[in-house]
A and B are shown apart, each in its own frame.
Chain A
Amino acid sequence: MTSDIENLLRDMPLRKPPASLDAKVVGGGRRLRIILCTAAAAGIAAAAAAVIIMILSPGGPARLPVLPPPAEVVQAAAPTEPVRLQQNWSRLSYEGVVVPDGRTPLRQFRHRVLEHVQWIDAAGGTRTEMTLPREEVILIKAPID
């Protein structure tokens, strides 16, 4: 009976760990390394791909569109100098298993980041903004159930 019970227990369907846990545990630990590795590339991409819009606003900052509160204020300068505001949005999604080389299954995660930076010069009545979308694919070698 004892081994019957052990067999029954082994056959019980368990609540599965969520797929997001993998990214948090392993991907999270590796992310720093990936970000460091891609920092230089991202810098180059920022210079090349960033779209800079210069808006000359005759009415001054009062006419700027209303934006949600910034997630991160990187630099708040003295009132007479341009103010730099940065907002970041990021999303990590699990996209399932891929087998790029036909042999090794890998779990694929996609990390999307949208950086929005504004420089507001209240004294000069100008605003410069830059939106930089960035995306990275993280592949983690994993055993498949």
Chain B
Amino acid sequence: MREAIERIYWERRQGLFTLALAITRCPGRAEDAVQEAFARLWKSQARPGGDLVPYVFAAVRNAAIDQVRRQDAVAGAQPASIFNGFPADPPSEIITAEEHRTVREAVESLPDEQREAVVMRIYGNLTFDEMAKALGEPLQTVASRYRRAIEKLSEKMKRVAGPSHDQ
């Protein structure tokens, strides 16, 4: 099982870190959360059957939530984004600096649970079924939460870009 979990780490490390960062809003705490989650997984005697991916994501999510609870006592720092401060280098064909800023702000303004859903689906590459297992919620709930988040982001992008964006 250790080998399988380790493989998941290497395959999904970006998604796991991004999920932790989306929850903690602090790179240092996100790093601690991922480390703590895996430390717990290594120690755990549990042998969950089936797909381990949701199990690992759930572990990181729980550790990140624990970090946030601890963080409350020492709050005050500026929340960090899951995105880099600058557009991709070299810039992607479809993404401009302005779009970058708009998407970033739109994602940051989503409610926590919707932002989590977007991160798990887009950056964690989880299926809705895996997301539902990781969150311990019904598949329909998770899927519609994700759709609402995407609709909200679309609305924000339309508003900023105006009619020309839909060409």
Contact = CB atoms under 8 A, between A and B. Distances in A.
Looking at A9, A24, A29, A143, which has the most chain B CB atoms within 10 Å of its CB?
A: A9
A8 B157 contact: yes
Contacts of A29: 2, 6, 38-39, 42
A28 interface: yes
Given A5-B154, A21-B17, A26-B6, A15 B80 contact: yes
Secondary structure of the A side of the interface? helix
Interface string A11-36: 11111111011101110110000000
B154 A21 contact: no
B99 interface: yes
A26 B6 CA distance: 7
B150 A13 contact: no
A6 interface: yes
Contacts of A2: 150-151, 154
Contact of A17 (B14, B89, B107, B122): B14
Interface stretch (B27-35, B45-53, B128-136): B27-35
Interface residues of B, number: 46
A143 B151 CA distance: 34
A7 B153 CA distance: 12
Contacts of B82: 14-15
B66 to A, nearest CB: 17
Interface in B91-118: 92, 94-95, 99-100, 103-104, 107, 118
